[in-house]
Amino acid sequence: MLVLRLLNVVAPAYFLCISLVTFVLQIFVFIPSMFRDPSTTPLFSPALLHGALFLFLSANALGNYVLVIQSSPEDLGKDLNLGKGAEVADWLDGSRSPGSALPSTHFCRLCARVTQRHDHHCFFTGNCIGSRNMRNFIMFCLYTSLACLDSLVAGMAYISATLSMSFVDPLTFLTLLPHSISQFFSGALLSSEMFVILMLYLWLGIGLACAGFCCHQMLLILRGQTRYQVRKGMVVRARPWRENLQEVFGKKWLLGLLIPVLNVESNYRRQKEK
């Protein structure tokens, strides 16, 4: 448990550090290298369009990240009917089994909070993912994967221009890291260039992981399930996939795709049905 609590503190700091490094490299290294002659750059140049796209992806990823943390299950847990005489302390000492008060509720010992429709505990946000912040969490994974892909493409273009190499052959990227390590220790490669190359593989790994996690989460939502229910073997009531999507994303789902906003409408509808 101590290791998990330590990971719950280190993982968010690690993510914020990677985000800061990515932002600095994009704004101060990659995008300026795209401007050959700033005085003759047109208004809608590829460099400016790339910069606008990166800022849009970064703003959505960071905005949804903050909303996942702010949409704490603790606030929702105060409104749950845990039963007569039941307190959160009862859940802590194990006198009440998690999930016994309401269906699909779970008490997380890391957060010390009750989560309705608990899915999992996310160490990179230091928070549990449930009914209140599921949509923001999916949008966070989606825009993080897109931002990493954008940074990967920009970084490859920067390395290609700096080292005068081509990535037309897919094997070039696969052999780039071992070849760069040998050049770095022989003194033929600068430390800044080696750092960018290492970041390329880090962006690839994070982007693929977030994209895969987002796709898996969407499949569960379409079936009306959560990861916690699948892990515990809970049987869920079969509903049309449109209702399952609307429960998570709300009717105004397009707004959540463009800007990071809370899914207030969906929460209000569920409380009204109760």
Kindly state the average pLDDT of the residues 62-85. Answer: 66
Label residue 178 by pLDDT band (50, 70, 90). very high
Residue holding tokens 């260039």?
193
Q: What is the mean pLDDT of the chain?
A: 82
Lowest mean pLDDT among 10-14, 192-196, 240-244, 266-270: 266-270
Task: Show Cβ contacts of residue 189 under 8 Å, excluding neighbours closer than 6 positions.
Answer: 180, 183
Kindly state the average pLDDT of the residues 182-208. Answer: 93
Q: Is the pLDDT of residue 72 over 80?
A: no
Alpha-carbon distances of 154 from 83, 103, 150, 158, 191, rounded to whole Å: 55, 47, 6, 6, 19
CA–CA separation, 89 vs 82, rounded Å?
11
Query: For 79-138, how does the pLDDT look when each residue is reduced to its tens digit (9 = 90+)?
Result: 444 444 444 444 443 444 444 445 567 888 887 778 888 899 999 998 889 888 899 999
Cβ density class 139-175: b for 16+ within 10 Å, e for less: bbbbbbbbbbbbbbebbbbbbeeeeeeeeeeeeeeee
- Most confident range, picked from 47-56, 71-80, 126-135, 206-215: 206-215
Label residue 261 by pLDDT band (50, 70, 90). confident
Higher pLDDT residue, 103 or 160?
160
In this prediction, residue 42 carries a pLDDT of 65
Cβ density class 104-128: b for 16+ within 10 Å, e for less: bbbbbeebebbbbbbbbbbbbbbbb
Q: In the numeric block, which tokens belong to residue 127?
A: 């928070």
Would you list the domain boundaries of the chain?
1-73+118-273
Q: Which one of 17, 111, 122, 128 is the catalytic residue?
A: 122
Is 111 catalytic? The answer is: no
